[in-house]
Amino acid sequence: MSVRTVTITEEAYRKLRAHKSSDESFSDVVNRLASRRPLASFAGTLSHESAEALRRAIAKDRRMRLRLDAEHAAGH
């Protein structure tokens, strides 16, 4: 395997390091992050029924979080 040396800013290094787990090399992190697909590339992958079920689950979760936040604010 060949290697290359690259120069990055301290800020870029900190951001890269923040994404690195203890068992990963920096090359692993770069490869993982560079291979991420844009969210738009997933458009159309869910069936209509699955998308509706997901929307309902998200709405239910949001309602529950709002209720819990309100109870916490009220001191319960």
Residues 24 and 3 both lie in one domain: yes
Alpha helices in 1-76 (DSSP H): 10-18, 26-34, 48-73
Together in a domain, 52 and 72: yes
Regarding whether 47 and 32 lie in a shared domain, the answer is: no
Domain that holds residue 15: 1-36
Summarised one tens digit per residue, pLDDT across range 34-55 is 998 888 888 889 999 999 999 9
Whole-angstrom Cα distance, residue 41 to residue 23?
29
pLDDT at residue number 59: 97
Write b or e for each residue in 30-42: b if 16 or more Cβ atoms lie within 10 A of its Cβ, otherwise e: eeeeeeeeeeeee
In terms of domains, do 31 and 46 share one? Answer: no
Indicate whether 5 and 31 sit together in one domain.
yes
Q: How many domains does the chain have?
A: 2
Please tell me whether the overall predicted TM-score, pTM, comes out greater than 0.75 for this model: no
pLDDT, averaged across the chain: 93
Residues 60-73: what's their mean pLDDT? 95
Note whether 24 and 16 are within 8 A (CB).
Answer: no
| Residue 32 sits in the same domain as residue 46 | no
